[in-house]
Amino acid sequence: MSDPLVVVNFKTYQTAHGASAESLALAMANIETGARMIAAVSAIDLSAVVAAAPGLEVWCQHLDPVGFGSNTGWLHPSTAIERGASGTLINHAEHKVSLEHVAMLLEQVPEEFEVCACAADVEEARALAALEPDFVAVEPPELIGGEVSVTSADPEIVSGTAQAVKDVSGAVGILCGAGVKTGSDVSKAIDLGTSGVLLASGVTKSDDPSVALNDLVSLL
């Protein structure tokens, strides 16, 4: 089995933007683990985070399948790649797009650039898996930012998504997120059939992000 993923979405948390994004990324880079630690950062912080945390995998939180030219404010995948991104989230619950947007993005990015498409439920996960992104991450919107991990609040949606995605394509990895905070949440996510987790507040709202990060990978 390949190394489990721990993707930390910095969102626009105050503790994870600007200079704080650089410190948090450095804390992630310093965690000793066999897991793949990935920071999903604001496009504005991308270059600075890549420079501050060499060796850490850095993803965007969103990209647009646009060409070069007249596209004010849109996020061109090639710019992200040139600035050091190795992947992106897309269709996050807080930044929904059409299936067509996801499909066009997948067509546009190079093979090695990873795309994690987010889904609210099993149905959406199945539809996204058919487009063959690298990962589908299931995150029930009502549990995002909450105190209870999806792995405890709704384990069936995690195992159901894992099964549905595998049925569609063996090439698509599965992540889950919403309320994930501890090593036992991560280990339960793996037991339920995923390759890892996507989380935010468990790290960004922690008093000590390094302690939270070490806990997350403690049972892997």
Q: Hey, what are 111's tokens?
A: 């093979």
Q: How many residues interact with ligand G3P (rule CB under 6 A)? A: 14
Q: Which of 17, 76, 92, 124 is catalytic?
A: 92
- Helix, strand or coil, per DSSP, at residue 115: strand
Residue 111 is among the residues annotated as catalytic for this protein: no
- Radius of gyration of the CA atoms of the chain, in A: 16
Question: How would you write 52-101 as a 3-class SS string?
Answer: HCCCCEEEECCCCCCCCCCCCCCCCHHHHHHCCCCEEEECCCCCCCCHHH
* CA within 13 Å, CB half, 59: 27
Q: Which one, 77 or 179, has the nearer CB to ligand G3P? A: 179
Q: In this complex, which beta carbon is closest to ligand G3P, that of residue 100 or of residue 142?
A: 142
Task: Give the residue with the Cβ less far from ligand G3P, 160 or 179.
Answer: 179
The Cα 168–Cα 129 span in angstroms is: 6
Report the nearest approach of ligand G3P to the CB of residue 42 (Å).
13
Among 139, 154, 185, 215, binds ligand G3P (CB under 6 A): 139
CB contact at 8 A, 162 and 123: no
Nearer to ligand G3P, 42 or 167 (CB): 42
Distance of CA 101 to the CA centre of its chain: 18
Active site residue 112: no
9 lies in the binding site for ligand G3P (CB under 6 A): yes
Shorter beta-carbon distance to ligand G3P: residue 160 or 202: 202
- Contact present, 109 and 80 (Cβ < 8 Å): no
Show contacts with ligand G3P in window 64-93 (CB under 6 A): 92
Binding mask 24-63 for ligand G3P (x = CB under 6 A): ----------------------------------------
Residue list 144-203, contact with ligand G3P (CB under 6 A): 144-145, 177-180, 198-202
Q: How many angstroms separate the CA atoms of 20 and 202, rounded? A: 16
Contacting positions for ligand G3P (CB under 6 A): 9, 92, 139, 144-145, 177-180, 198-202
Which residues are part of the catalytic machinery?
A: 92, 139
